Structure 1
């Protein structure tokens, strides 16, 4: 049955496996680079989300640049009642400068954050919550209801070239770890002020 449906047995019958196997079943796919994640997957996950869309990145500019329907779909989801929360890098903090020095791109990280802030603040309805964070970012997290794409950051390598995990909540062992991280960053982040724009 599992092979016919092209799903893992542990996904179809979570009570039939032990905790370690169940946690492993949450890992749907791994990609050696974020740029290897199929473009359609980002769109499918966004379109399929009905309750929650969360983003944690310094910029995540590729979403607005490579997916023309990203902002209109986020807007539609927020207007339909989904909770949409965006956590972006705080240009007033220290972490963007550290990441910039790490990648040796001469102010590029702050510039990307400014560009994505312009996209989001000019086009998003008030229902979309945007906060700024100044945390060392070990992962970028893109949550769509019970699925996530987690871009694992590696020192000195641009995020587009580092691994990405596709996680689907089953028992929560993988999923909840990243969700807890997201919530901690959200709790410590600040709202956008007029001089941030």
Structure 2
């Protein structure tokens, strides 16, 4: 019996069925997590359980946490997902919620965030009010690069339309001084999302849309490692980007 998990569920007042619904699994799967001590859920399910119960993974499954400790140059890689769509929405929500200093969304459109994260704008406004810096890098909707990528993707919901959705949502919350946005074309094939010392990176593939991109969850563990190199890339793009608010003022949306 995994007594730690059982007690955590009791403390959170969640039944087997309720936890199963939160994690997107069958109730029998949750029962096996509890009754079979050696049974360790998949990483995405462990994240969902931790979020639902407000507990740390090392507390609920210490053996899994120990196995996850890496000593080589890949130790900053927390998880790998073949598709961005396979990265749990609960992970994104948890990273956004926990960030205290900065949130940087350097996706070419960032459209999916407004679609998949409930009350995303309100969450950003709340974070900004708490002193967290919120930054968006987006592509220019009318640029040649955007048109070229639209031809490459070949989907009905075009890149320019998705960018304009993000711009319209940002327009609603731009009164917060800690919320900033800039245009950039340097991240057209690489999206980087930073949440303090956590990061999600998605290198885009030819003829594929963002949700089909392979995805890495990184956590900063060293200087000049994977995390810092991607962070430097984003900072360079930000420095050379064009402020969106000026563009909005001139009717460029």
TM-score range, shorter chain: 0.7 to 0.9
Using the TM superposition, give the Cα deviation of residue 186 of structure 1 relative to its aligned residue in structure 2, in angstroms.
Answer: 0.7
Distance in 2 (CA, whole Å) between partners of 1:129 and 1:9 is 39
Please say if residues 89 and 113 of structure 1, whose CA atoms lie closer than 8 Å, have aligned partners that are also in contact: yes
Distance in 1 (CA, whole Å) between partners of 2:227 and 2:127 is 22
Please say if residues 76 and 221 of structure 2, whose CA atoms lie closer than 8 Å, have aligned partners that are also in contact: yes
1:8-45 per-residue CA deviation (whole Å, 9 max, x = no partner) reads 5785xx8xx4xxx0x31100000010000011000000
1:161 corresponds to: 212
1:80 corresponds to: 130
Aligned CA RMSD, in angstroms, stands at 2.0
> For 1:151-190, what aligned pairs fall within 5 Å after superposition?
151-172=202-223, 173-190=225-242
Please say if residues 108 and 139 of structure 2, whose CA atoms lie closer than 8 Å, have aligned partners that are also in contact: yes
Distance in 1 (CA, whole Å) between partners of 2:68 and 2:156 is 47
1:127 corresponds to: 178
Where 1:24 maps in the other structure, the secondary structure is: coil
Using the TM superposition, give the Cα deviation of residue 136 of structure 1 relative to its aligned residue in structure 2, in angstroms.
Answer: 5.2
> What is the TM-score when the length of structure 2 is the normalising length?
0.69
Please say if residues 97 and 107 of structure 1, whose CA atoms lie closer than 8 Å, have aligned partners that are also in contact: no
Given the alignment, which residue of 14, 17, 38 partners 2:88? 38
1:48 and 2:106 are equivalent in the alignment: no
Where 2:74 maps in the other structure, the secondary structure is: helix
Distance in 2 (CA, whole Å) between partners of 1:73 and 1:175 is 25
> For 1:49-128, what aligned pairs fall within 5 Å after superposition?
49-105=99-155, 108-124=158-174, 125-128=176-179
In structure 2, runs of 5+ residues without a counterpart are 1-57
Where 2:134 maps in the other structure, the secondary structure is: strand
Given the alignment, which residue of 182, 188, 191 partners 2:243? 191
Distance in 2 (CA, whole Å) between partners of 1:83 and 1:123 is 13
Using the TM superposition, give the Cα deviation of residue 104 of structure 1 relative to its aligned residue in structure 2, in angstroms.
Answer: 1.6
1:101-120 per-residue CA deviation (whole Å, 9 max, x = no partner) reads 11123671101101111011
Using the TM superposition, give the Cα deviation of residue 5 of structure 1 relative to its aligned residue in structure 2, in angstroms.
Answer: 6.4
Paired residues, number: 188
In structure 1, runs of 5+ residues without a counterpart are none
Q: 1:101 to 1:81 in 2, by over 3 A?
A: same
Where 1:196 maps in the other structure, the secondary structure is: coil
Please say if residues 43 and 70 of structure 1, whose CA atoms lie closer than 8 Å, have aligned partners that are also in contact: no
